């Protein structure tokens, strides 16, 4: 039986001023987390040389990280559900800081891989509680905008965090860059400790069995299943093409070097710009916001697979549209999770995190298979088809994505 669509009021709402400061602190933590997660990509040659391994082994650090986060998000979130939310967020960010310091001092690849796995365990919990905590700070009627604020940290990490950390690694070495991310995580933990109220948990202490039983109960929600299905389809579609966005842009528009870097920067900037609009719209017209993002993503990938080939202007326009759509859609999806599972927001968010990780891994795998088969041109076609399928599922899931937000 489906959960109600009405989101219950937070039991311990923060004041407006503290709520805003808390959201900024959460956004900062998200910024550091995404920077740390993607840093091996930017410093792949340096890490491979410094640890005396093949480049493929460094790429495996990203894959193993995603897998570990996906497999442990639900059980670890259930295990920590009785702890105060500020305590859980702080612990996750402190583990991130610790892992970065261990990596900076690591004598070999095995220690680096172990530290990444430990960080991935905390990653799943952090992203599972992030949006529920943000919603509690401001109240359910502003959950979309709160989610958009904290997710700005994700986008800024891709636009600023990873490039800056990569540049630091080029100048001072990968150990210095990793240590700098650790310092940033430690400072973020201090900010969270200062900015967040205690936020006690509503889950009963000491009853782990009851918290574990809540997992299959959440899975039985058809509305939550629909949100996760949309997530898997759209994210696989996105990452099938996005993993090779540089190759696609070079093929379609002939851009390389600085010009290619500027296109990718425009992708990230467009994403930051789309977040605020989507958060505001999600709090009023959930279906319009979510369907608009998914349909725009479908349109952008359709353009890349048809009319943009050979045109630099159309390719850049499609990529910018793509960035705005995909960066914003997690706001609409995460807000839907909070709507359909108000009694178990953390567990439901953990399931959403798993769906997202499946999408990342599945998309990257599908893209690699198509590229190895010599069908680079097919990436946006497959991505468009999956995004369109996700849009159709979204439109059919009326309880998960109502026309208007219920303000009661």
pLDDT digits (tens, 9 = 90+) for 186-236: 999 999 999 999 888 766 555 555 555 556 666 678 899 999 999 999 999
The CATH number of the domain covering residues in 221-396: 1.20.1250.20
> What is the spatial distance between Cα 192 and Cα 92, in angstroms, rounded to a whole number?
11
Helix (H, G, I), strand (E, B) or coil at 3: coil
Let me know: does 165 contact 177? Beta carbons within 8 Å.
yes
Average pLDDT of the chain to the nearest whole number: 84
pLDDT digits (tens, 9 = 90+) for 12-53: 455 555 678 999 999 999 999 989 987 886 787 888 889 998
> What is the spatial distance between Cα 83 and Cα 202, in angstroms, rounded to a whole number?
9
Q: Give first-to-last CA distance, the chain, whole Å.
A: 21
CA distances 69 to 25, 62, 119, Å, are 22, 11, 9
Helix (H, G, I), strand (E, B) or coil at 28: helix
Residue 252 has pLDDT above 90, yes or no: no
The CATH number of the domain covering residues in 16-212: 1.20.1250.20
Residue 375 CB neighbour total at 10 angstroms: 12
306: tokens are: 């048809």
Residue 85 has pLDDT above 50, yes or no: yes
> What is the spatial distance between Cα 307 and Cα 294, in angstroms, rounded to a whole number?
20
> What is the spatial distance between Cα 241 and Cα 181, in angstroms, rounded to a whole number?
29
> What is the spatial distance between Cα 282 and Cα 149, in angstroms, rounded to a whole number?
13
Domain ranges for the chain: 16-212, 221-396
Strands (E) in 318-367, as ranges, are: none
Let me know: does 340 contact 6? Beta carbons within 8 Å.
no
> What is the spatial distance between Cα 109 and Cα 91, in angstroms, rounded to a whole number?
25
Residue 4: pLDDT band (50, 70, 90) is: very low
> What is the spatial distance between Cα 149 and Cα 138, in angstroms, rounded to a whole number?
11
Let me know: does 288 contact 281? Beta carbons within 8 Å.
yes
Give the pLDDT score at 255.
75
What would you measure as the largest C-alpha separation in the chain, in angstroms?
A: 62
Mean pLDDT of 321-345: 87
Closest CA to 401 of 213, 230, 205, 243: 230
> What is the spatial distance between Cα 178 and Cα 180, in angstroms, rounded to a whole number?
5
Q: pLDDT over 90 for what percent of the chain?
A: 35
> What is the spatial distance between Cα 288 and Cα 271, in angstroms, rounded to a whole number?
18
Out of 10-14, 228-232, 275-279, 370-374, least confident range: 10-14
> What is the spatial distance between Cα 174 and Cα 178, in angstroms, rounded to a whole number?
6
Let me know: does 202 contact 83? Beta carbons within 8 Å.
no
Q: Which has more pLDDT, 165 or 182?
A: 182
221-396 and 16-212 share a CATH fold: yes
14: tokens are: 């923060």
């Amino acid at each position: 039986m489906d959960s109600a669509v009405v989101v219950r009021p937070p039991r311990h709402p923060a004041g407006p001023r503290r709520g805003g400061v808390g959201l900024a602190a959460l956004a900062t933590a998200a910024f550091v987390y995404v920077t740390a997660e993607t840093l091996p990509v930017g410093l792949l040659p340096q890490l491979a040389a410094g640890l005396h391994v093949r480049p493929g082994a460094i790429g495996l650090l990203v894959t193993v990280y995603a897998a570990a986060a996906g497999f442990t998000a639900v059980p670890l979130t259930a295990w920590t559900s009785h702890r105060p939310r500020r305590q859980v967020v702080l612990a996750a960010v402190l583990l991130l800081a610790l892992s970065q310091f261990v990596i900076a001092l690591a004598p070999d690849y095995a220690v680096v891989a172990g530290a990444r796995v430990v960080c991935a365990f905390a990653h799943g919990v952090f992203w599972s509680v992030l949006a529920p905590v943000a919603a509690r700070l401001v109240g359910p009627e502003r959950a979309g905008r709160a989610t958009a604020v904290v997710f700005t940290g994700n986008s800024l990490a891709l636009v600023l965090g990873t490039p800056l950390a990569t540049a630091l690694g080029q100048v001072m070495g990968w150990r210095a860059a990793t240590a700098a991310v650790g310092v940033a995580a430690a400072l973020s933990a201090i900010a969270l400790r200062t900015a967040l109220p205690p936020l006690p948990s509503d889950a009963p202490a000491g009853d782990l069995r009851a918290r574990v039983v809540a997992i299959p109960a959440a899975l039985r929600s058809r509305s939550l299943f629909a949100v996760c299905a949309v997530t898997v389809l759209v994210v696989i579609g996105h990452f099938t093409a996005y993993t090779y966005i540089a190759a696609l842009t070079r093929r379609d528009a002939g851009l390389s070097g600085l010009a290619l870097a500027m296109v990718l920067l425009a992708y990230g900037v467009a994403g930051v710009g789309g977040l605020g609009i989507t958060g505001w719209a999600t709090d009023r017209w959930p279906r319009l916001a979510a369907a608009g993002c998914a349909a725009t993503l479908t349109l952008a990938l359709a353009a890349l697979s048809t009319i943009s080939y050979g045109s630099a202007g159309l390719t850049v326009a499609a990529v910018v549209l793509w960035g705005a759509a995909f960066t914003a859609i997690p706001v609409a999806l995460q807000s839907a999770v909070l709507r359909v599972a108000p009694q178990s927001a953390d567990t439901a968010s953990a399931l959403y995190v798993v769906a997202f990780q499946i999408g990342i891994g599945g998309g990257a795998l599908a893209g690699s298979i198509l590229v190895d088969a010599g069908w680079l041109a097919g990436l946006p076609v497959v991505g468009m088809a999956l995004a369109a399928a996700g849009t159709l599922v979204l439109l059919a899931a009326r309880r998960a994505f109502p026309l208007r937000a219920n303000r009661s």
